[in-house]
Chain A
Amino acid sequence: MAPAIYTHDLRKVYPAPGNRPRFGPAGAAPPGAVGHGGTPPRGGGAGQGIVALVGLDLEVPEGEFFGLLGPNGAGKTTTIGILTTRVRPTGGTARVAGADVSREPVEVRQRIGVVPQRPNPDRSLNAIENLIFHAAYFGIPRATATAHARSLLDTLGIADKAEAKVDELSGGQQQRLMIARALIHQPLVIFLDEPTVGLDPQARLALWDILRDLHGQGRTIVMTTHYMEEADRLCQRLAIIDGGKLLAVDTPEGLKARAPGGTLVELVLDGNAESVLDRARNLPNVSGVEARNGVLRAYSDHGGQVIPALIDAAQSAGRSVKNIYLAPPSLETLFIALTGRKLE
């Protein structure tokens, strides 16, 4: 069985700002003009460009709930953009539900549903018309679409808003409408880009239930998120990406097992942390240390007990401590170890 998502050596370089004619002769050719398998125009005549993806390889089997984790600017949205045919890759291959995003974009669009990061309903139409017309774009007859739309709105708890103008819906209700829209044409693969950003905790839990239901029906779900807990609770497998590269991909359990041993103790200092490194490394109960600019990270099997010794070490190196952050071994500590950054 073909995987629901397959990418190989997927690359994306955006034209550098200011180096981008709006329209006009040859210069306006989009980066995709390089063609599949072409090389990114780095250092070429078109200037440097902004590198968003550098050779991403992903494989998601049919029916999997897959998560993409990464800090802002990691390449998550570009990845989703390419997989949903809305961004043209600079090079490499991407196939979704058996169709190639560059050569068969229409087939890809037929098979996917997309929930955007920010709700973008058609404001000229009311709620249920949003669904009925979207279904019509997929060739679904009005009567079928209407019945399906009503049952979707009912399930998503916004049946009473069917005839309401979109502007009368709250943020959470608009997000549910976007989910209904992504489902109305019965897609095989559903993409959600940060679906719970801006939702209150109750709406977030309700959305989790909906997503579990969808997954229970055998659909493939690909979701990007900022929230570790969300990724941990919902996704069967997670990919951590940063700088346009895949850093790790595994089940949440597998990833947690890979997290560096012990509790992470992070000290924010008033100057470069390098000078504290040697002193901290030799402290008892400290299993590992690293320095990144003004941040000193230590891992310890004795939790917060090492904090006083670390503070002493910093002070004897002439640094004072501005802030302290503690985290037990988790996806988050792994994430920090891999990317050097926190998610939020």
Chain B
Amino acid sequence: MSVSTSVLPGIAVRPTTPPAASTVFVALMRRDARVLRRELPYFLVRTIMQPLLFIVVFGFLLPRMGFVRASYTSALLPGVIAVSLTLSAIQSVSLPMVQDFGWTREIEDRLLAPIPIPLVAAEKIVMGVVQGFIAALVVLPAGRLIMGPINGLTLGHAGVAIVVTLLGAATFSALGLLLGSAISPQQIGLMFSIIIAPMLFFGCAYYPWRGLDAVPVAKYAVLVNPMVYVAEGMRASLTPELPHMPLAAVVGALVVLLVLFWSLAMRSFMHRAIG
């Protein structure tokens, strides 16, 4: 017989009907927002450092040394914004998830929440979009500040820029979910060198796609790279007077890639989440 003197809070039978899925979804977002707020300095350093260094070297130092023309900054700024928003979206989803699934199983408490599992995955993608958006918002003014006046830069198509940012962040957030649920912790380093690095360097981020007119093979080969569409979408909206890929092609490609990554990511996530 129990000799315990402890008294746990008594049973009060809660409703056996689950709360609305939207209530649970918002609670999941509040959890992620809380963590993001707490880790904001680390988040900013992680996502913005690399693009800022690039801006300082290629957008400030080299033009002043005369190694690159000052007009290069017009091609560089939209590309660097694309890099920050995609990297931040992909990392904010994939890195915690690799740990969660591979080692800590921390996500378990969310998988036990009374909500369909695909919505737990969808919430991760939404929070990745938010983080991509924040990164873009920080890098745009910072880049402009460091590089000085930029030929052709306009905020006249801010609406288009926002659409491209959201679409790009969603596409890469979904890719982050796919990678985060498909690779093991030991493969993280490999993910950066095999997937992320080539994507950055062949993503038309540091040079405009139309510049590849000079190398036709490369011009068409890079089209398999999702980064190209985000970078060119940024050029189409921020420096619309300069040569860029047609906006319709950008949006069309991003929508197709988003649907593709989303469905692969959901499948992979469900596979890991439910044995």
Which residues of chain A are within 8 angstroms of B3 by Cβ–Cβ distance?
Answer: 209
Interface membership of chain B positions 146-178, coded 1 if the CB is closer than 8 angstroms to chain A and 0 otherwise: 000000000000000000000000000000001
Q: Which of A79-87, A246-254, A305-313, A316-324 contacts B (4 or more CB under 8 A)?
A: A79-87
For the complex, count residues of B whose C-beta is within 8 A of A.
50
Which residues of chain B are within 8 angstroms of A81 by Cβ–Cβ distance?
Answer: 275
Q: Which residue of B lies closest to A148 (CB)?
A: B9
Q: Are A123 and B2 in contact (CB under 8 A)?
A: no
Known: A124-B38, A209-B4. A28 touches B271 (CB 8 A): yes
Q: Is B46 located at the chain interface by the 8 A CB criterion?
A: no
Q: Is A188 located at the chain interface by the 8 A CB criterion?
A: yes
Known: A86-B274, A155-B8. A120 touches B108 (CB 8 A): yes
Which residues of chain A are within 8 angstroms of B17 by Cβ–Cβ distance?
Answer: 107, 110
Q: Are B178 and A23 in contact (CB under 8 A)?
A: yes
Question: A122 → chain B, closest Cβ, in Å?
Answer: 5
Known: A116-B108, A120-B108, A209-B2. A125 touches B35 (CB 8 A): yes
Q: Is B64 located at the chain interface by the 8 A CB criterion?
A: no
CA distance A151 to B12 in the complex (A): 14
CA distance A78 to B275 in the complex (A): 9
Which residues of chain B are within 8 angstroms of A123 by Cβ–Cβ distance?
Answer: 104, 106
Q: Is B24 located at the chain interface by the 8 A CB criterion?
A: yes
Interface membership of chain B positions 236-275, coded 1 if the CB is closer than 8 angstroms to chain A and 0 otherwise: 0000000000000000000000000000100110110111
Q: Are B8 and A87 in contact (CB under 8 A)?
A: no
Q: Is A111 located at the chain interface by the 8 A CB criterion?
A: yes
Q: Which residue of B lies closest to A126 (CB)?
A: B38
CA distance A83 to B197 in the complex (A): 43
Known: A186-B13, A212-B4. A23 touches B110 (CB 8 A): no
Q: Are B108 and A106 in contact (CB under 8 A)?
A: no
Question: B126 → chain A, closest Cβ, in Å?
Answer: 16
Q: Is A134 located at the chain interface by the 8 A CB criterion?
A: yes
Q: Is B16 located at the chain interface by the 8 A CB criterion?
A: yes
Which residues of chain A are within 8 angstroms of B38 by Cβ–Cβ distance?
Answer: 124
Q: Which of B82-90, B111-119, B198-206, B218-226 contacts A (4 or more CB under 8 A)?
A: B111-119
Q: Are B115 and A137 in contact (CB under 8 A)?
A: yes
Question: A120 → chain B, closest Cβ, in Å?
Answer: 4
Q: Are A106 and B114 in contact (CB under 8 A)?
A: yes
Give the total number of A-B pairs whose CB atoms are below 8 A apart: 148
Q: Is B11 located at the chain interface by the 8 A CB criterion?
A: yes
Interface size class of A (residues with CB under 8 A): 35 or more
Q: Are B11 and A217 in contact (CB under 8 A)?
A: yes
CA distance A213 to B2 in the complex (A): 8
Q: Are B11 and A138 in contact (CB under 8 A)?
A: no
Q: Are A152 and B9 in contact (CB under 8 A)?
A: yes
CA distance A81 to B274 in the complex (A): 9
Q: Tell me which of B8, B18, B178, B275 contacts A214 (CB under 8 A).
A: B8
Q: Are A125 and B34 in contact (CB under 8 A)?
A: yes
Q: Are A136 and B31 in contact (CB under 8 A)?
A: yes
Q: Are A109 and B275 in contact (CB under 8 A)?
A: no
Q: Is A273 located at the chain interface by the 8 A CB criterion?
A: no
Q: Tell me which of B10, B111, B270, B271 contacts A22 (CB under 8 A).
A: B271
CA distance A32 to B10 in the complex (A): 38
- Residues 37 to 78 of chain B near chain A (Cβ within 8 Å): 38-39
Interface membership of chain A positions 122-149, coded 1 if the CB is closer than 8 angstroms to chain B and 0 otherwise: 1111000110011011110000000010
CA distance A87 to B112 in the complex (A): 12
Q: Are B271 and A30 in contact (CB under 8 A)?
A: yes
CA distance A30 to B114 in the complex (A): 22
Q: Are A111 and B16 in contact (CB under 8 A)?
A: yes
- Residues 91 to 134 of chain B near chain A (Cβ within 8 Å): 104-106, 108-117
Hey, which bits of chain B sit against chain A, CB under 8 A? 2-4, 6-14, 16-20, 23-24, 27-28, 30-31, 34-35, 38-39, 104-106, 108-117, 178, 182, 264, 267-268, 270-271, 273-275
14 contacts between A and B (CB under 8 A): A23-B271, A32-B274, A85-B274, A87-B275, A110-B18, A112-B112, A124-B38, A125-B31, A133-B34, A138-B14, A139-B18, A139-B19, A186-B11, A186-B12
Given A130-B109, A138-B113, A212-B4, output 5 extra A-B contacts at Cβ < 8 Å. Answer: A111-B16, A133-B30, A139-B18, A187-B14, A217-B11
Hey, which bits of chain A sit against chain B, CB under 8 A? 14, 22-23, 28, 30, 32, 78, 81, 84-88, 97-98, 105-107, 109-112, 114, 116, 118, 120-125, 129-130, 133-134, 136-139, 148, 151-152, 155, 181, 183, 185-188, 209-210, 212-214, 216-219
Q: Which 7 A-B pairs have the closest CB atoms?
A: A139-B19, A137-B113, A209-B4, A136-B27, A212-B2, A87-B275, A110-B114
